[in-house]
Amino acid sequence: MRDFDYARADSAGQAVSHHAAKGQPSSYLAGGTTLLDLVKLDVMRPDQRHCQVVGSLT
Q: What is the per-residue pLDDT across 21-58, written as a single tens digit (0 to 9) for each? A: 776 667 777 665 677 788 788 887 766 555 556 566 55
Output the DSSP codes for 1-58.
----EEEEESSHHHHHHHHHHH-S--EEE-TT--HHHHHHTTS---SS-EEEEES---
Q: Look at residue 23 in the predicted model and tell me its pLDDT.
A: 67
- Model confidence at 9, pLDDT cuts 50, 70, 90, reads confident
Q: Look at residue 15 in the predicted model and tell me its pLDDT.
A: 81
Indicate the CATH number of 5-54 among 3.40.1350, 3.40.50, 3.30.43, 3.30.70: 3.30.43
